[in-house]
Structures are given as structure tokens and as C-alpha cells.
Chains A and B, each alone.
Chain A
Amino acid sequence: MSCCAPGAEMALDLVSPVSVLPSSQEVKLASRSLGDDLHQTDLSVPTVHCGACMQTIETALRKLDYVEAARVNLSTRRVSIRWRGDEVPPLVAVLGRLGYPAHLFEADTDAKDKTLSELIRAVAVAGFAAGNIMLLSVSVWSGADGATRDLFHWVSALIAIPALAFAGGIFFKSAWNALRHGRMNMDVPIAVGVSLAYAMSLYETITHGDHAYFDASVSLLFFLLIGRTLDHVMRERARTAVKGLSQLAARGAMVLRGDGARDYLPVGEIEPGMQLLIAAGERIPVDGKIARGTSDVDCSLVSGESTPRSVSPEDTVQAGVLNLTGPLTIEATAAAKDSFLAEMVRLMEAAEGGRAHYRRIADRVSALYAPVVHLTAFVTFVGWMAATGDWHRAMTIAIAVLIITCPCALGLAVPIVQVVAARRLFENGIMVKDGSAMERLATIDTAVFDKTGTLTLGQPKLVNASSIDPAMLAIAADLAAHSRHPYSKAISGFAVSSSQHKFDAVAEHPGFGIEATAAGSIWRLGRRGWAGWKARTGGEGKHGYGGTVLTKNGMIVASFVFEDALRLDTRAAIDQLHNAGMCVAMLSGDTAKACAEVADVLGVDDFVPCLLPSGKVERIESLARDGHKVLMVGDGLNDTPALSAAHVSIAPATAADIGRNAADFVFLRESLLAVPLALHVSRKARSLIRQNITIAIVYNAVAMPIAILGHVTPLIAAVAMSASSLLVIGNAMRLQGFATTVASSETARQDRPARAGALARYS
């Protein structure tokens, strides 16, 4: 039961600057009232993974005052809590103390879950009907005749009615929608075939005929519904997983009224001119101007700039910026709907269209397929009428053609491959929004990366640690532990556990650094100009004016150089993309110098620095005009319009909310190898889909002539239909094993030279 000793993860994982826990006001804002003073709150707890976790969480939460019930759902990694009263119990704090960071979960998925349960109910009803009717049909085929056969046909007809009405309704509705708008889809031949077969069988039954096709029409529905349900499950699972991740956008803010009262208002109610209190560690909800206080802010999600910016009164800040070190009072200059965030949403909507006219393979095939099937059936009917003049016989054969060519295998061919592929990606921490994303990814020839947060982690790393006096480094690390500035976090990683320095007074000066006194001397860690107040001459040093230094009584004793840490396996991922024939480019909002360094390390030859969000969109659109299919990988708010402009897009899980929602794929792990893996699996899936469609078409090419010639009995039709479906499913399953071996061998191949290089560097 020690698979997840609570707390261990938290100790290792220093709270990262991007994961800001929701405040209790936010929890209240997001909770749902169940009436009678009872509220329900849904929290996403991504680190739950076994029974012990469930028990720990449920027991701890139930012990809290006012909590009525708490229940963990292990499948969705969520906990729903019911509580009473006006005050929110300290749910998030308790979970955090147990070692499970919790995020608010938007409980608006009820409508979509309804579709799924409707589909499952339809599958159940269709399965029941298909099973029973098939039983009766088998006895008819084995020789029941006369009154018995009529009885069986009547019973079948009775069972088929609810099945058609309930399970078939999904297809009838969709077909009717398509026809009303003058379009054709896969559901049109299904609806026509099924209802014609039922009507014809009913006529046969009334006139004591030999053959009835109730079994064919219902089992057709059953198979098609399975395909549709799988398709739906895949999309829904990915969507909820993406939604359940942390919410980065602030939901509300503490408003300071003129009379000194403080109110927590939802973002939508904040108006220009209001004074907002932003504590250290909170995100700024709307565009504003700083009224009081100094601090450092992290703009990496907004502009792509990797270096924290220090701000003081009269500076302007954009929505989405993270306040790092000191409390700020800002005056809102725009309402939420006019803020930077909303501007990005508008740009995003304008940029949409790179993929809007993409049509899924299945839809393209069915647009061609449906008219062909209808035409063939009609021609068969006319042909037999002309040849024999027997309208009853002509009708029977035409229906047989319609049923046997109904896209049973075709309806399964695409979703089953996509479900298997999505599962494969899911196991590797990659979420797919929908199947068409995989089809689009398989066609790309250019990959465009954002820099900060995508190729790099957006977190600074100390690079000159080896040239710093270890004693000084230890002092600096102990000092740095008192601050949440990214540079401090990078330095505090070098703390030596044995030597805890005793500082008498530690004070953080937002925008400058940390000051402490120990044994009569003043230590400062921060900006060169502030910390090294005695070292005026040569203060610029070789690292420039802005460098970070440690000083003792104003004399510089150590200086620190940082660079943005690269994401894991970035080099290997870019090499794999090059090998796969991709052009790789980098678009960034950061400075040319920072971009050039990263591009140089990674071997990216094409990069454009200092881009505005609209500039990124323009670059992507011009690439698209040149006939390239562009993949965009990015995480920031400033990337969001570019993510929707690109043919297909991928975002890391640390991305801004709207970025994650705009992207087609979201990868949860740190390694950038997720990108080439997604590409590989998508390409494999595309070839399997093509094979499956070929199988379905070959099956039809064989079966159709037999049906047209009138040799198909219901038994043959049923067997052929099931066999082709099984063949298609079996083919799709090949993706599971194949992709594993290829991916792992590729990683191994990529790892070896990298490791050799690392050894060479160290020796």
C-alpha cells in the first residue's frame, strides 16, 4: 500500500510557480448549490492512484466540520464533497497537507455525459433485440415453416419496433439533419436501409412470406452503435482529462472598496477603476495599472519572456501575469471582457479556419459511398423489374444489396483505430481531443515551436554553480529559500542540508532581492545595483548590470548566471522530427539573444524572435499559404491564436487554460518526446485506417455482385457482416503492439548518442 506515500511527492516537488492553489472564495464561487443550505464542490485531484489514497482523502475530508460527504472517483481522479453552511471548509488546504494538490473542477459536463448514457442504453437495447431476433431467425433458417415461421416473424417484428425507435433514433435524427441541409452522410444509407428492410419484412410477414430481414436490420444497428459509442468515449475521456487539470485563469479577485471594505468578486463583475488586491502567488485577473506596491511578475505565459520583470507603481500589467514576490494593489483599467485574455480569445476565433474545412476521412468516404450504394440498389431494383417484372422479388434483392453494402465495417473502421491509437497515446501521457486531430497530425510537414514553456521549461537554472565558492553558494541557497522568485528557487536547490545558517532578520524587498543579518553582517541576495551598493565601480561585471549577486556588507562575494532550463529530451525530440522529414521552426516573443542561444543548442535553424501574438498567426498563415501543413506546439496565452491558426496543435499540460482548450493534443509529461511519438502513432493510425477502408471496400466489391445477382440469403448477409467487422477490429488492434516496439527502439536509438555525448562532456 506504499505506492503513494502521501507527502513524499510534495517534499520533492517544490511548489512550482504555475500551480497556484484556488482560494476558498474561488471554491465557493465554483461550488454548486444543492438547495437546503447544501453545496457540492468538485475538485480534480490528479495524484490519486490507489485505494490507500482514496481512504486517506475521504477520511480526512469527512472529519472536517460541516462536511456531509466526500467521495473519490478513481476513474476520473476527482473528489466531490458536499458541505453545509456559508463558510467553505478548508478542503484544498487539507488535501494539500496530505500531499494531493487539488484543482477546481468545472462541473458543466452533465450535458455531455447524457449523450454517452443515451448511446450505451441504445447499445444495450439493440444488443438485446439483435440477440433475440437472431435466435428466432436461426430456427427459421433451420427449417421452421408454416404457422411457426409466421409466429417467429411476428415476434421478431414486435421486438424490432422498440429497438428501431430507441436505438435507431440516433441514426434517423442525424440522417434527417443531413438531408434537411442538403448533405449526405453515412447515416443516410443506414436509415434508409434499416427502415426499408423493416417495412419489407413486415410486408413479408403479413403475406406469409419465406424471408424476413428483421435480424439484419437490428444487428446492423447494433454493430454501428458499438462503433459510435467507442468514438464518443474516446473524445469524452480526453476532454474531461484536459478539463480536470489546474485552472490557471483567476476566477475572481479581492476588491478594495472606497470605504475600506473588501469583497471577493467574480472576474466578470470587475469594472475599470476598481482597486484590486493581488497577493504574492496570485494571477492578475484583468488588465490594470499598479497603484501601490512593488513586486516581480512572471510574464512567461503572456508574452513568452522568460526573465521575470520587476514592476512598481504606475506600471501596467496584463491579465494572466503571475505576481511573484510582493503584494500589489492594482487599479483595473479594463473589464474582463476587454482584457488581454479576451483579446486572445477573439484573435483565436478569427484565426480558426485552418482546420475548420478539414473533413474527416470517414466523412469524405461516406460522401462518396452513400450515393454509390443508393444508386446501385436502385439500379438493381430497376434491372430485376425489367428482367422479371416481379416487383416483389426486385424489391427483396434491392434491399439485400442495401443491407449487405451498408457501411458496417466502414462505420467501425475509423473509430476503432482511433480508439486504439488514443489509448496508446493516453498511456504515454498524451490526450487527444478528437479523431480528426490524429488524421490532421499525420499530414503535417512543418513543426513550429514556441520557446518559453515549450522548448524550455520557463524556469531558470543556475549555470555557473561549479565556479562559485561552495560556502557562499550554501549561504545564498539558505537565503533564497525565503523567496518564491524563480531565481531564488533555482539557487535554493543547491542548499546543503548540514549547514543551516542562522539569519536574524530576513526581509524580502520586492523587485530587488532578499536581505538578512547574521553575526553582525548584512547579507543581500538580489540585483547587482541594489545588493552591491559599495561595489560601484566595475559593478556591471562581465554579466552585465542586471546580474544577480550575493553580497556581504555591500561587497560582492558571488555572482550568479542563469539560463532557461531546457525541457527534457528536447534535442532528441527535434532530431526525431528532422528524421521524420519535418521542417522545424521556432517562433518566440522573447528577445533575439535568448532565442539564438536556445536555437543554437537545439539545432533549430529557423527562428523568429520578438513576435506579438498576431505576428505568430501571420507567420503560420504565410506558411500555410505556401502549401505547408503546420503543427504548432506552444503553451502561452500569446500562443493561443497561433494554436488555433495551425493545421494541428499540441500544448503541454502546464499551458494556459485557453491554450489547452485550443490545442488538439495535450501532453502531461515533461519530456518533449511526446511530440514525435504523437506524430508516429498518428501516421501509423492513418495507414491502418486506410487498410481498414480498403478491407471494407474489397468486402463490398465481393459481396455486392453476389447480392445483385440475388444469391444472398439472410444467413449469408449476417455472417458476412460480422466477419468483416471482426476483421476490421483485429486489424486495428495491431497498432497496440506495433507502436510500442517502434517507439521504444527509436528512443533507445536516440538515447545512445545523447548519452555518449554527455559522457564525453564530463570526461
Chain B
Amino acid sequence: MTTLAYLIPVALFLGALGLSGFLWALRSGQYDDLDGAAERILIDRDDGAENAPRSK
């Protein structure tokens, strides 16, 4: 019984952590462009093209 007293809060806390993580991801727009994200990883970012030019 005493174990339950902290195990249940721990379980609920972890679950709530996952839930809030999902809601945060949703709000910050990570699900807006599902196809684009997969392709974007292949692109060399040249945001800072002027300070770090890459040879292609």
C-alpha cells in the first residue's frame, strides 16, 4: 500500500509528461509539415552562407 502511494503519482507524472510533450510539439507546429521534415534533413543549411561557405 505504501509503495502505491508513490508509484501511482510517479506513473501519472510520467504519463502527464508525455502528454504535455505531445501538446507542446503540436502547438509549436511540428506536425504542420510532415513530408517536408523528412526531406529537410538532406538539405545543407546555408543560413550562415556568408560566414561558413560550404564547398559543394
As a 0/1 sequence over residues 46 to 70 of chain A, the CB contacts with chain B under 8 angstroms (1 = contact) are 0000110011000100000000000
As a 0/1 sequence over residues 30 to 43 of chain B, the CB contacts with chain A under 8 angstroms (1 = contact) are 01111110011011
Q: How many residues of A contact B (CB 8 A)?
A: 24
B12 and A159: CB pair below 8 A? yes
A contact residues around B27 at 8 Å (CB): 117
8 Å CB contact of B19 from A59, A128, A151:
A128
A55 and B35: CB pair below 8 A? no
The docked-state distance in angstroms from the alpha carbon of A150 to that of B36 is 49
Given contacts A54-B36, A76-B33, contact A131 B46 (CB under 8 A): no
8 Å CB contact of B40 from A54, A76, A147, A159:
A54
Q: Cβ of B26 < 8 Å from any Cβ of A?
A: yes
The docked-state distance in angstroms from the alpha carbon of A470 to that of B25 is 65
Shortest A681–chain B CB gap in Å is: 24
8 Å CB contact of B46 from A54, A59, A125, A128:
A59
Shortest B30–chain A CB gap in Å is: 12
B33 and A147: CB pair below 8 A? no
Shortest B56–chain A CB gap in Å is: 11
- Closest A residue by C-beta to B33: A73
A75 and B32: CB pair below 8 A? yes
8 Å CB contact of A147 from B1, B15, B35, B36:
B1
B contact residues around A51 at 8 Å (CB): 39-40, 42-43
The docked-state distance in angstroms from the alpha carbon of A117 to that of B32 is 11
- Closest A residue by C-beta to B43: A55
Shortest B47–chain A CB gap in Å is: 9
Decide if the interface of chain B is mainly helix, strand, loop or mixed: helix
Shortest B13–chain A CB gap in Å is: 11
A72 and B36: CB pair below 8 A? yes
Q: Cβ of B23 < 8 Å from any Cβ of A?
A: yes
A contact residues around B40 at 8 Å (CB): 51, 54
B33 and A75: CB pair below 8 A? yes
Q: Cβ of A580 < 8 Å from any Cβ of B?
A: no
A54 and B39: CB pair below 8 A? yes
A132 and B23: CB pair below 8 A? no
Given contacts A51-B42, A121-B23, contact A74 B15 (CB under 8 A): no
- Closest B residue by C-beta to A131: B15
Shortest B53–chain A CB gap in Å is: 13
8 Å CB contact of A121 from B8, B26, B32, B46:
B26
Shortest B35–chain A CB gap in Å is: 4
Q: Cβ of A155 < 8 Å from any Cβ of B?
A: yes
- Closest B residue by C-beta to A78: B33
Q: Cβ of A744 < 8 Å from any Cβ of B?
A: no
B26 and A120: CB pair below 8 A? yes
Shortest B1–chain A CB gap in Å is: 7
8 Å CB contact of B18 from A128, A151, A155:
A128
B26 and A132: CB pair below 8 A? no
Given contacts A132-B11, A148-B4, contact A74 B35 (CB under 8 A): yes
Q: Cβ of A568 < 8 Å from any Cβ of B?
A: no
B contact residues around A132 at 8 Å (CB): 11-12, 15
As a 0/1 sequence over residues 1 to 31 of chain B, the CB contacts with chain A under 8 angstroms (1 = contact) are 1001000100110011011001100110001
Most buried by A among B16, B27, B34, B43: B43
Q: Which chain A residues have a beta carbon within 8 Å of chain B's beta carbons? A: 50-51, 54-55, 59, 72-76, 117, 120-121, 124-125, 128, 131-132, 135, 147-148, 151, 155, 159
Question: What are the 7 A-B residue pairs with the smallest beta carbon separation, nearest first?
Answer: A51-B39, A74-B36, A74-B35, A73-B33, A128-B19, A55-B43, A75-B35
Show 24 residue pairs from A and B whose CB-CB distance is below 8 angstroms, ordered by the A residue.
A54-B36, A54-B40, A54-B43, A72-B36, A73-B32, A73-B36, A75-B32, A75-B34, A75-B36, A76-B33, A121-B23, A121-B26, A124-B19, A124-B22, A124-B23, A124-B26, A128-B15, A132-B11, A132-B12, A132-B15, A135-B11, A151-B8, A155-B12, A159-B12
Identify 17 new A-B residue pairs, CB closer than 8 A, beyond the known A54-B39, A72-B36.
Answer: A51-B39, A54-B36, A54-B43, A55-B43, A73-B32, A73-B36, A75-B32, A117-B26, A121-B23, A124-B22, A128-B16, A128-B18, A128-B19, A131-B15, A147-B1, A148-B4, A159-B12
